[in-house]
Chains A and B, each alone.
Chain A
Amino acid sequence: MRLLATLLLAIPLVAQDAPKPADASAQASPTQTAPAAAPASDTPSPDNWLQGSIELGYRWIPNIDGSLDTYRSVVDLGQGPKMLDADFTLLNPSKILFDRASVRATSWGGDPYNTLRVDIEKQDWYRLTADYRNIAYFNFLPSYADPTLATGSLLDQNAFDTRIRTLDIQLDLLPNKWITPYLGYGRNTQFGSGISVFTTDQNDYPVASIFSDQTSNYRGGVRIELGRFHFNVEQGGTTYKEDQGASDNVTNPGNFTGAFFGEQLPLSALDELYRVRGDSVYTKVLAAGNPCSWLNITGEYVYSRPSTDIDYTETSAGNFFLNRILQFYSLGQDMLTGDAAMPHSFGNITVEIRPAKRVRIVEHWDTDRYSNATSALLAENFLVAGMPLTDQQLSSDRLVLHENDEEVDVYYDLTSHLTLRGGYRFTWGDTEVRGPILAEEALEPGTLRRHVGIAGFNYRMTQKFRVTASAEGSPSDQTFFRTSLQQYEKARIRASYDILTNLRLAGDFSLLNNSNPDPSIKLDFKSRVESASLFWTPNAAKWANLLADYSRSAISSSILYLVPQTLSPTPSLYTENAHALTSLLGVKWFSVGGTMFISSGSRPTRYYQPVARFSLPLNKHIQWNTEWRWYSMKEAFYSFENFQSNQLTTSLRFTR
């Protein structure tokens, strides 16, 4: 991919050799044709055929103090030469093959997230877009999943060091015409290594694992535009493959290191492999139209049928205990074949009616339906006291959902500046999921009935001042889960005021209260966020500018659960009071600021990123940038995860 990126970035260099006669003819022709047919963008001069910039630099990281694993999990920036940013637009003078191409790339050169986007267009013929990103996903936080933490051993038993790469390409043919066919291809891959856990009945063992999966998406469709009616038909499909594995070839005592019925339970060898293959086809039909001046209608129907086939093998050696026969065994071998298929339909219709000049009524209905029917055959072999023991289990599972929404909103323009909104939404559905392992019923039913009242307004005093507010509430008593939105109120107000042409003040406030008074649940959830922002750019920010955002959030949650060993109901409490601040003050070539996050409550955390920048134009085309940044994270309860790091990045930005 790096090679591809290099080649794409080199496109402008190749195009630089465009023959000059073509250039000359392109310049000559406009004077002979109608003026309107000769926009500047269509006739690049020798000076403007290529515009853009590239920033090349080097980052020094003199120190990473504290936990390197946490640093990599949170920041993960590395030292070395970087291509920090590139953004080029090429106007092809010859107009052969393409009129315009643009390439944007960020953070190449070993950084944990690299992006590349390419847009190529030939007006009226085609438009090609490609988007690629390569993201490092490293996560090793002992506080997350480390059962041996109490012994002082820092090992996250659910850790990853993987890369996620996504690519999406779309080719639109005859863009802007009444019929536009298009083709697309997308790919998502994740691969790498990590730590996962192999579990037996009485012990569990952290083991090395590898991850590899890939999803490819193929799609093609056509957009049809017929005056007042528009249609979009798309047919697509995906293929999926996953090859995960875990292995161990040294004696592993596991998380339970004591004796069980007088015997240790170590793992001496493990070989585990998942081989999953899947595919899906989907059909999407979208129609939209405004058959008359007072009516808009849109509707969509999507059907997909993802399915997977699974082969799983596992061979383990050591000393293990099998609960169901109450005996030890030294060798286990499992093989599973299974399949799952989940037909999924989604449809919706929205109608907007404007019966009077000041009134709009929007009626929306949608339905989402799927069911997953699965089966699996598991064959097990155990070596118990030197004798083979075999077993087979055929299992099946099912998950069904039928969910529907119907909403009607009425908008009334009380004045030319004030619009009022009132509405009602009814959400209803039912589901069947796998029942608890100890319950008699194989399937557990759930129902959803939610009546929601909606209100809001939008006020625009002038173009400089706007306020938008909305609120909704529901007294529901039938929801799927204990933590679902049940009896809730939600509200939000957002306002902005351009005090001067170069001074903007904005703020927002949001609130969510959710409760379930059932004596066995007693859910009480409250969340409140207030934010304010100031943006000041005097004299078009030629000499100074100021950006400041502040946000305060408060979350509190309480819900009952039963502690199994004491059989006493206890509230699960979670609180968080957080302050987040972003500021940047720029004066001429210098800017200072940064971000800060401070929270107290269940997981007190301080995360700072102060920054200072120096940007000096060396000449018309070259700018020298230098940035110092400090990363610091402190967690009061998990001080072994604290880290801090200084970083200095210097770069040259070349602009054409």
Chain B
Amino acid sequence: MHNNHSNVRRVAAGIVVVSGLTISAAFAESPGYAGSETCKTCHEEIYNNLQKTPHFAIETGARPAWKQKSCESCHGPGAKHAESASADDIRNPGKLSAAEVDHTCLTCHLNQNTKGGRIASGHAKDQVGCTTCHSIHGANGAKLVEHAKAAINKTCSTCHLSQWASFNRPYKHRLPEGAMSCVDCHNPHASFADASMQKAFGNEPGCLQCHSDKRGPFVFEHAPVRLEGCTACHEPHGSANPRMLVRHEVRLVCLECHSNLPNPGLQNAKLGGVPPAFHNLLLPQFQNCTACHIKVHGSYVDRTLLR
């Protein structure tokens, strides 16, 4: 009896798994498909461009259900369109809303770890669909996925004008010089961090990918580094202030929190407002806090971040 139940469970599990695996295959085998060779008859240039992109792997069987139907894997069944030659009879993702484009692309690309949170990303919220940045057919020499840093930056700066203008400032990350690209810090597909920031080492701020000496954990943390992130003190795109600081003098960056003023009421209490020390700020020695508090990102040794 026990064996019978086990067998039933195995068979049921098998049916579920096989059904799941064949859903897309069944969809692809449904009538109305013409095949890519038919599409090529009229759209030869697009077909030839597509061959140079990674998407052509679909045509050759990377996704068995869509083998020799790569065009229709995105455009939908094309038999009717092939007969009528009417644009109304085929899905054109270029004319769909961003959400509809996303759904088309995410049918296959949902699983990659960079895209898992696409539906909550900033680009999705702003209705920026996949085809805004990716040239699916690789037309005019454009690449489906750009890897060259200058090309990535060019794509992003098309819309993010203000951010790109910040890189004209003297103190900046070296993007215009081609040393970095926007996607080194931001994940344009999906990120649960503010400003679509990348994550490093699992779940830590992406800045630490390169500035790993700031990672710690430190014996004595500087709270805003953890709680507010690097942008509490730095302008990461570019600044007229040295070290990309948000203020022109170091002491003002510090004093805006370490104000020496009494904390507001209990409910509105702010961290770090009470003075760490009583320095005479008229003396140049005390006008550059980080000259002594050198471990301002966190210290392994000293609670006042002096060493």
Contacts and interface: CB of A to CB of B under 8 A. Distances in A.
Contacts of B284: 147-150
Interface stretch (B6-14, B72-80, B82-90, B164-172): B164-172
Interface in B257-274: 257-264, 267-274
B3 interface: no
B202 interface: yes
Contact of A282 (B126, B149, B203): B203
A65 interface: no
A197 interface: yes
Q: How large is the interface on A (under 10, 10 to 19, 20 to 34, 35 or more residues)?
A: 35 or more
Contacts of B278: 564
Interface string A319-361: 0000000000000000010111110111010101000000010
Nearest to B145: A119
Question: By CB atoms of chain A within 10 A, which of B36, B192, B246, B291 has the most?
Answer: B291
Interface string A406-437: 01010101001001010000000001011011
Interface in A266-317: 272, 274, 276, 278, 280, 282-284, 286-290, 296, 298, 300, 302-304, 306-308, 310, 312, 314
B5 interface: no
B6 to A, nearest CB: 23
B285 A145 contact: no
B248 A352 contact: no
Contact of B217 (A188, A231, A374): A374
A163 to B, nearest CB: 12
Contacts of B128: 468
B57 interface: yes
A308 B213 CA distance: 12
B20 A228 contact: yes
Nearest to A345: B203
B192 A431 contact: no
A289 B177 CA distance: 40
B306 interface: yes
B209 A188 contact: yes
Contacts of B243: 139, 141, 144
Given A41-B51, A223-B111, A274-B300, 4 more contacts: A298-B116, A350-B119, A438-B275, A557-B247
A627 interface: no
A190 B209 CA distance: 12
B164 A549 contact: yes
Contact of B290 (A119, A135, A145, A303): A145
B52 A41 contact: yes
Interface stretch (A7-15, A383-391, A439-447, A617-625): A439-447
Given A255-B285, A480-B271, A238 B111 contact: no
Contacts of B217: 278, 306-308, 340-342, 372, 374
Given A310-B301, A434-B220, A344 B204 contact: yes
Interface string A227-256: 111111010101010100000000000011
Contact of B241 (A133, A447, A532, A603): A603
Interface stretch (A24-32, A55-63, A481-489, A646-654): A481-489
B179 A107 contact: yes
Contacts of B36: 36
B281 A563 contact: yes
A97 interface: no
A350 B117 contact: yes
A508 B179 contact: no
Interface in A449-482: 456, 458, 460, 463, 468, 470, 477-482
Contacts of B117: 298, 300, 348, 350
A87 B21 CA distance: 40
Nearest to B158: A506
Interface string B92-114: 00110111000000100011110
Nearest to B57: A176
A502 interface: no
Given A232-B111, A433-B223, A306 B241 contact: no
Question: By CB atoms of chain A within 10 A, which of B51, B256, B267, B306 has the most?
Answer: B256
Q: Is the interface of B mostly helix, strand, loop or mixed?
A: loop
Contact of B174 (A113, A370, A484): A113
Given A296-B119, A401-B227, A157 B288 contact: yes
B110 A431 contact: no
A431 B224 CA distance: 11
A364 interface: yes
Interface string B45-82: 00010011000110110110000100000000000000
Contact of B257 (A112, A197, A224, A483): A483
Contacts of A563: 260, 281
A300 B126 CA distance: 22
A589 interface: no
Contact of A115 (B171, B178, B213, B227): B178
A136 B271 CA distance: 36
B30 interface: no
B117 to A, nearest CB: 6
A470 B122 CA distance: 11
Interface in A175-193: 176-178, 186, 188, 190
Contact of B52 (A40, A204, A307): A40
B271 A431 contact: yes
A531 interface: yes
A157 B252 CA distance: 18
Contacts of A107: 177-179
B1 interface: no
Given A340-B217, A553-B162, A113 B179 contact: yes
Contact of B242 (A42, A144, A199, A458): A144
Nearest to A366: B192
